[in-house]
Amino acid sequence: MTDALYRDKSILVHAYLDGELDSANTLAFEEQMSSDRELAAECERIKAYQDLVRKHFPRTEAPAGLRVRIDAQVGASRPTVQHSWRDSWRALAASIVVTAVLASGATSFILSPEPTDTARDAVVAAHIRSLMAPNPIDIASSDKHTVKPWFNGKIPDAPRVVDLAPASFPLVGGRLDVVAHTAVPTLVYRHAKHLISLTAVPAPGRSDSGAASQSTGGYNILNWTNDGITYWAVSDVQSSDLSTFARLFRVTPADR
Amino acid sequence: MSVIDIRRPDLMFPDVADKVHAPPIAEQSRDSSKTGDDKRSFVQLVRPHLGDAHSLARWITGDRSGAEEVVQEASSRAFRAIRTAAGARPRAWLLTIVRDCAYTWLQKHQGKPLTRSGFHGVEDKQSGRARACNPSDTTITASSEARHLEAAIFALPAPFRETLVLRDMLGLSYSEIAEVTDGPIGIVMSRLADARGRVIRTIGRKSS
């Protein structure tokens, strides 16, 4: 499988940067990149391009006038005379919309599954709430040997806690959040002046997947699954920084 | 032509001025409670994504007022089909309709001059289709970097441009892009790599 995958590394470098590789392939790709200077340089060029795009073409609202016209078009409800042809027109309009697509079998096996919206909304809400609370954490400590035992006794399994301070993502502490009526551990890391919430949601039986990124309400979100646990990283740091954080968290052994 | 003639569904894109005075679609519905549900669905599923819809329309048409026509038409279609067609990924669903409308608009306006073009580009009634700006007649400003980038993206063939825009401007996942562009993920991956490579080479030449 590896040979087939890396035959076209010039395509996979994009999937890697977009967080579309599963964790096994992400690690394998990073290993390959560490010994391939041209590949690493290509990776940097793409990142620089992405930064440029983010800077000059941020996502925007539709023009206000357009939004008003659209609202007016669907919003008003004055009664009016009905004609029989309207029904056929509506049926036709409905049939215009076609959304059907399947991934080609050749590539889909290395790609991540889609995240679930419910869990995403819960972890984002918990992150936002924590920023508004007097203290964003229940246990404040930069020492993983303090944070990890704190979870013991509160939830069945304490999360994997790694020390990322050398990479400028110091551990700040931990708290308990609730996702789908279950208490789950959240680790809080800091990067510059921003906090990153990393929530570990048990996902028994789910296969490993690479980091998938999305954003909502100004927050960047990454999620990936590893060893039956889906991790959600939420923060207002730049998505590239969040990707770096996720990558470091995944590759750093917990017992170091 | 003073109002939309909805007996003529082939008449997709009357002038934008006519659109403004179009009768509310909600009037066409027989059952007002269902219409209320549709309106709620529209507000939840479609309205949050109008910004992305507008971006995609502008990058495909290269025309500012054309993009507004496209988004308005796509919103109408989305509203009419919202009960039957909106799926688990409403943004991808809406963008699928927007893309369809945008290419229809382009076909109808083939050969006609565009009103305005790009985002950072200069206004230019004579400029070619989907051409952001002519680098030779633009003054060097702080945003020349932005205009070069924009011109490089507009220079891409449409299938590559739309893939790049969906990923890099709007942040869709590969599987969402595959849904919107109605193709396999393998094609999405190779087009994205190709499109980014071309843009990187073009702006590399400009800055060196």
CATH number at residue A233: 3.30.200.100
Query: For A161-179, what is each residue's pLDDT tens digit?
Result: 998 988 889 888 889 898 8
Give the one of A72, A107, A114 whose C-beta lies nearest to B189's C-beta. Answer: A107
| In contact, B78 and B41? CB cutoff 8 Å | no
* A213 within domain boundaries: yes
The conformation of residue A139, written as its DSSP 8-state character, comes to E
Residues A21 and A137 in one domain: no
Q: Do A117 and A49 belong together in one domain? A: no
Q: For residue A27, what pLDDT is reported?
A: 83
Q: Answer whether residue A96 is part of any domain.
A: no
A52 and A122 both lie in a single domain: no
* Portion of chain A with pLDDT greater than 90, in percent: 22
Is B202 within the bounds of a domain?
Answer: no
Comparing C-alpha atoms, which of A243, A55, A221 is closest to residue A167? A243
Mean pLDDT of all residues belonging to chain A: 78
Residue B201 confidence (pLDDT): 94
Asked whether the CA dihedral B15, B20, B23, B27 is positive or negative, the reply is positive
- Nearest Cα of chain A lies from the Cα of B40 at a distance, in angstroms, of 10
**Does B8 have pLDDT greater than 80?**
no
CB contact under 8 A, B193 and A52: no
pLDDT computed for residue A96 by the predictor? 43
Q: What's the pLDDT tens digit per position in A98-132?
A: 333 333 333 444 554 455 678 888 888 888 888 87
Q: Which of A13, A33, A56 is the last residue in one of the domains? A: A56
Residue B48 touches partner A, C-beta closer than 8 Å: no
Q: Quick check: is A99 in a domain? A: no
Instruction: Name the residue of chain B whose CA is nearest to A18's CA.
Output: B173
Residue B41, pLDDT above cutoff 90: no
CB pairs under 8 A between A and B: 188
How far apart (Å, rounded) are the C-alpha atoms in residues B161 and B96?
A: 15
What's at A62, amino acid-wise?
A: A
Interface residue B4 vs chain A (CB under 8 A)? no
Into how many domains does chain A fold?
2
B193/A10 CB distance under 8 A:
yes
Q: If you average pLDDT over residues A191-201, what whole number do you get?
A: 90
Any domain includes B184:
no
**CA-based nearest residue in chain B for residue A214:** B171
Q: How far is A181 from chain B (nearest CA, A)?
A: 23
Regarding whether A128 and A34 lie in a shared domain, the answer is: no
- Separation between Cα atoms, residue B100 and residue B34, nearest integer Å: 27
Q: Which two tokens stand for residue A226?
A: 């590893």
- Residue B57 belongs to a domain: yes
State the total domains in chain B. 1
Mean pLDDT along residues B51-61? 95
Give the minimum alpha-carbon distance from B55 to chain A in angstroms, rounded to a whole number: 8
User: What is the residue-averaged pLDDT of chain B?
Assistant: 76
Q: Is residue A47 part of a domain?
A: yes
Q: Identify the CATH number of the domain in which residue B31 sits.
A: 1.10.1740
The residues in B 18-47 lying below 8 A from A, measured between CB atoms, are: 19-20, 22-28, 30, 32, 35-36, 38-39, 42, 47
The answer to whether B16 faces chain A, any CB pair under 8 Å, is no
Q: Assess whether A47 and A137 both reside in one domain.
A: no
Asked if the model's pLDDT at residue A218 lies above 70, the reply is: yes
Q: Out of A98, A103, A214, whose CB is closest to B175? A: A103
Domain presence at residue A62: no
So what's the pLDDT on residue A205? 77
CB within 8 Å: A56 and B150: yes
Does residue B12 belong to any structural domain of this protein? yes
For residue B206, pLDDT over 80 is answered with no
Q: Is the pLDDT of residue A90 over 80?
A: no
Q: Which of A177-186, B132-141, B175-184 has the lowest mean pLDDT?
A: B132-141
**Quick one: what percent of chain A has pLDDT higher than 70?**
79
Q: Which of residues 116-175 of B touch A (CB under 8 A)?
A: 119-120, 143, 145-146, 149-150, 167-171, 173-175
Lowest model confidence (mean pLDDT) among A131-135, A210-214, B23-27: B23-27
Q: What angle do CA A80, A82, A86 make, to 5 degrees?
A: 120
> Is residue A28 located within the same domain as residue A130?
no
**pLDDT, tens only, B82-117:** 887 767 788 999 999 999 999 999 999 877 655 544
Any idea which of A72-86, B1-15, B68-82 has the lowest mean pLDDT?
Answer: B1-15
Q: How many CB atoms lie within 10 A of CB B106?
A: 18
What mean pLDDT is predicted for residues A22-42? 87
Q: Which amino acid is at A13?
A: V
* Co-location of A229 and A120 in the same domain: yes
Q: Model-level pTM?
A: 0.54
State the residue range of the domain holding A39: 2-56
Domain boundaries, position B29: 7-112
Q: Is pLDDT at A183 greater than 50 in this prediction?
A: yes
- The tokens describing A210, both together, are 């690479």
Give the bridge partners for B110, in sequence order.
none
CA distance A77 to B23: 10
Nearest to A18 among B47, B167, B200 (CB): B167
Contacts of A94 in chain B (CB under 8 A): 80-81, 84-85
Residue B172 banded pLDDT, cuts 50, 70, 90: very high
Is B89 part of any domain?
yes
Residue B190 is assigned to a structural domain of this protein: no
Has residue A104 been placed in a domain? no
- For residue A6, tell me if it sits in a domain: yes
Q: Which residues of A touch B79 (CB under 8 A)?
A: 73-74
* Candidates A103, A106, A212; nearest CB to B178: A103
Chain A contacts of B197, Cβ < 8 Å?
10
Evaluate whether residue A170 is within a structural domain.
Answer: yes
Nearest chain B residue to A21, by CA: B174
Asked whether the predicted pLDDT for residue B27 surpasses 60, the reply is no
For residue B62, give both structure tokens.
């290269």
**Looking at residue B103, what is its pLDDT?**
95
Give B 72-111 residues with CB within 8 A of chain A. Answer: 72, 75-81, 84-85, 87, 89, 92-93, 96-97, 100
